Amino acid sequence: MAKQQDDALWTLARAERATLAEDLSGLSAEQWRRPTLCGRWDVEEVVAHLIAAASMSQRQWLRSMLGARFRADVHNQRRMADHRGSTPAQTLDRFRGVIGSTIAPSSHTPAYLGEVVVHAQDIRQPLGIPRTPSVDAQTPVADFFARRDFAVASRTHVTGLTLRADDGPFTAGAGPMVTGPTLALVMSMAGRAAYLDELDGPGVPMLRRRLVVDARA
């Protein structure tokens, strides 16, 4: 059963990578340099990060983290630089090359689906690209993010809140209500305050305060 679930999640991840590659194929040189929702990284840098994430085994990840003295930002910056091409076209070709990858540093498959879902929107939202991941892909990511902190402090952001999607089956937690599209819940759990305006309910001010504090840390 666990293998079937993992296979299904990797199928969703491959589909989301493929649709992102389609979106990227039409970008201008200027759009590749645009800021994203992912901190200081531009579009090409986020794509290079996605390539790195789909290329590292557990052993490679541990070696890289040891070399970075377990500073995740240093590790991420180094691996992003490794996988970035000499041009955006080369970076896109490299991304197309990992669309079918199931390589990951750990067995937390929903987190690696979340990597694609979140970073795709980090790119699409600032560029005004209307495509969004499928609700089927968003829902297991939302479930995982609500249950634990992994690469992002998602569970910490929503502790003591009830989350309920209005476009799918996702629901989690207890406390003041936060409702809205599954994607807005996922992105807000991942710390993307740009999606808070799509949410409603008495728990939204608390969530907003937490994201502001996290962004300042």
Q: Is the dihedral of CA 161, 115, 125, 46 positive or negative?
A: positive
Tens digits of residue pLDDT in 140-178? 999 999 999 998 999 999 999 999 999 999 999 999 999
State the pTM of this model. Answer: 0.94
Residues 40 and 96 in one domain: yes
Residues 13 and 104 in one domain: yes
Residues 20 and 97 in one domain: yes
Report which of 189, 146, 138 is spatially closest to residue 166, judged by C-alpha positions: 138
Which residues, 6 or more positions from 188, have their beta carbon under 8 angstroms from its beta carbon? 157, 178, 195, 196, 199, 207, 211
Residues 9 and 100 in one domain: yes
Q: Which domain holds residue 77?
A: 2-108
What residue spans of the chain are helical by DSSP H?
2-24, 29-32, 43-53, 58-67, 72-83, 88-97, 109-127, 135-147, 154-158, 182-189, 204-216
Residue 163: its H or E element: strand 162-165
| Domain-embedded: residue 101 | yes
Residues 90 and 16 in one domain: yes
pLDDT at 71 over 50: yes
Tens digits of residue pLDDT in 192-216? 999 999 999 999 999 999 999 888 7
- Per DSSP bridges, beta strands 177-180 and 162-165 are parallel
